[in-house]
């Protein structure tokens, strides 16, 4: 469901397991179990440590299907599709309400830089289903802006409503993070404490790996953009936190004589042009990190660092283009605390 580039974040497989139960002095030994598959237009990997394989793949796939019925723009019967087609709103389920509540909170925190109602702008620029033949005019952007803004949304009891019939939502910038959190809940409900969930590059880790250490995740640093090769240049150590990445390096649309970023500023309707290549966020959960990495792409470097530093559990790492065309990076102290120094 996400339109974010997933090339920026990779999982380092540092340990392996046959998946069989081994006995030591007659007692089951902890083993690593891995479930992989495809969902939401990308791939997923679930690793957990237990004495036996107690998570069945079909239960994971059922959860994906349940979430897609709520949040997928590609399903004609999903709740989000029904909401976008309705003039007033819909009776929402658990998933849609959770995602919209989180979206509204982060929209307010980022002063509208993250906003799930910016879908009409994305359609104008052709980053969704439509393909424009020209750059949208100022008049068209102004007219479209009348239906954009998180203040058009309200949650009333169990319903999601809008005050403008043209308001539409797109949860792609937060739904994968939410799904990672729901998969993590599935594992916890089975009594599993040590695990890592990855969906399209969005990650949440819990407890320790089979070696008794924090889980290790690789991300692309600034030097990866010096060539066309993509490889892991930084490693971070994670336990009971999430990490997600948003980036625009590989997603552009050519209109006229310019290339335009796929990241739209919900406040103006224009693609962002602030030099940021990618943003990686560490947060308490994946839904939080996922939304903020999109918001920070729009906010710019200094505003993003300032906002992240106002929270005790929000880390940000930004790769950006300097005025001379070279690639550089910056991070706040909280993020740097997770870096593995080699």
> Could you report the per-residue pLDDT of 272-320, keeping only the tens digit for each?
888 888 899 999 999 999 999 999 999 999 999 999 999 999 999 998 8
Host H or E run for residue 95: helix 94-109
- How many angstroms from the chain centroid is the CA of residue 270? 21
Q: Which of the residue ranges 104-108, 201-205, 263-267 would you say has the lowest mean pLDDT?
A: 263-267
Find out whether 278 and 293 touch, Cβ atoms under 8 Å.
no
Residue 149 sits at φ, ψ, to 5 deg, of 140, 130
Average pLDDT of the residues in 30-35: 96
pLDDT range class, residue 12, cuts 50, 70, 90: very low
Q: How sure is the predictor about 221, in pLDDT bands with cuts at 50, 70 and 90?
A: low
**Residue 153 phi, psi (nearest 5):** -100, 145
The mean pLDDT of the chain is 86
| pLDDT at residue 22 is higher than 70 | no
Domains in the chain, please, with CATH? 65-172 (1.10.3980.10)
Q: What is the mean pLDDT of residues 251-256?
A: 49
CA angle 274, 126, 111 (to 5 degrees): 40
pLDDT tens profile 222-243? 655 555 544 447 899 999 999 9
Alpha-carbon span 192 to 60, nearest angstrom: 15
Contact (Cβ atoms closer than 8 angstroms) between residue 67 and residue 176: no
CA dihedral 94, 97, 103, 104 (to 10 degrees): -150
Pair of tokens at residue 207: 């407890």
Question: Average pLDDT in the 23-47 region?
Answer: 86
The Cα 38–Cα 131 span in angstroms is 27
Q: What is the mean pLDDT of residues 142-170?
A: 96
Cα gap 59→48, rounded to integer Å: 15
pTM of the entire predicted model = 0.87
């Amino acid at each position: 469901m996400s339109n974010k580039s997933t090339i920026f974040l990779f999982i380092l497989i540092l340990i392996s397991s046959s998946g069989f139960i081994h006995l030591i002095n007659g007692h089951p030994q902890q083993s690593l179990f891995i479930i992989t598959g495809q969902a939401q237009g990308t791939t997923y990997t679930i690793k957990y440590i237990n004495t036996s394989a107690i998570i069945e793949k079909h239960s994971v796939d059922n959860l994906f299907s349940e979430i897609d019925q709520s949040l997928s723009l590609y399903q004609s019967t999903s709740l989000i599709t029904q909401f976008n087609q309705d003039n007033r709103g819909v009776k929402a389920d658990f998933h849609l309400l959770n995602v919209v509540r989180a979206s509204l909170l982060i929209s307010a925190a980022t002063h509208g830089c993250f906003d799930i109602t910016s879908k009409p702008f994305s359609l104008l620029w052709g980053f969704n289903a439509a393909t424009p033949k020209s750059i949208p005019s100022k008049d068209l952007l102004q007219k479209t802006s009348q239906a954009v803004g998180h203040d058009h949304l309200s949650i009333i009891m169990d319903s999601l409503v809008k005050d403008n019939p043209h308001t539409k939502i797109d949860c792609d910038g937060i739904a994968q993070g939410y799904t990672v959190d729901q998969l993590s809940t599935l594992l916890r409900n089975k009594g599993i404490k040590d695990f890592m969930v990855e969906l399209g590059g969005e990650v949440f880790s819990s407890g320790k790996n089979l070696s008794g250490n924090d889980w290790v995740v690789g991300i692309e640093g600034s030097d990866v953009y010096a060539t066309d090769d993509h490889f892991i240049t930084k490693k971070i150590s994670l336990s009971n936190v999430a990490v997600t990445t948003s980036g625009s390096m590989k997603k552009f649309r050519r209109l006229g004589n310019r290339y335009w970023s796929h990241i739209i500023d919900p406040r103006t309707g224009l693609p962002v042009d602030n030099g940021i290549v990618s943003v990686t966020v560490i947060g308490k959960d994946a839904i939080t990190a996922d939304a903020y990495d999109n918001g920070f792409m729009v906010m710019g470097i200094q505003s993003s660092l300032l906002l992240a530093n106002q929270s005790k559990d929000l880390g940000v790492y930004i790769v950006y283009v300097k005025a001379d065309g070279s690639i550089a990076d910056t991070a706040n102290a909280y993020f740097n605390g997770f870096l593995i120094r080699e």
